[in-house]
Amino acid sequence: MGLGLECVACHASAAKSTRAEDNNLPSKQVCLDCHQDVTIKAPRETAVARFNHEKHVAMLRCLDCHHQIDQSDVTSKANFPAMAECMACHSKVDMPESCYFCHAKSMRLTPADHVADFIDSHSRKKHSAAERASCEVCHGPEFHCAGCH
């Protein structure tokens, strides 16, 4: 922190990483070049099945997605992008096929409130702008209620 290092100085593999399961954490030896003692934990499990850092690094800065990670002593969920942020660029949505471009087909992606009679029960109530915004996270910014109702 505060050394002015680029992220790839330690996370060198991220620039060429093309798979979500790639471990882009630095090796212990890389850390020991600057730190006296360090424990490297296993990477966190991720909600994505496919992700290409190489393509994203070419267009974005690391901090565009890994929020304030340069100011963190430990990482948390807050340092990683929410799906709504991904949707800002990846806005072409074709439910449910486009979900599986990034997520595994084995993942349960629907919210808990999307029960068997969701379309019928959901369509009977009026929705606020905030509720509509939450729909856009999965259904995309071009989403129109009339598309389902």
Condensed to tens digits (0 to 9), the pLDDT of residues 90-143 reads 888 777 778 888 988 888 888 887 888 777 777 666 777 777 777 777 777 777
Structure tokens belonging to residue 17: 């990483």
Q: Environment class of residue 48 by beta-carbon count within 10 Å: exposed (0-12), middle (13-18) or buried (19+)?
A: middle
Q: In the numeric block, which tokens belong to residue 109? A: 């992606």
Q: 17: how many CB neighbours lie within 10 A of its CB?
A: 20
DSSP-H helix ranges across 45-142: 53-57, 62-65, 83-89, 118-123, 129-139
Q: What is the pTM of this model?
A: 0.72
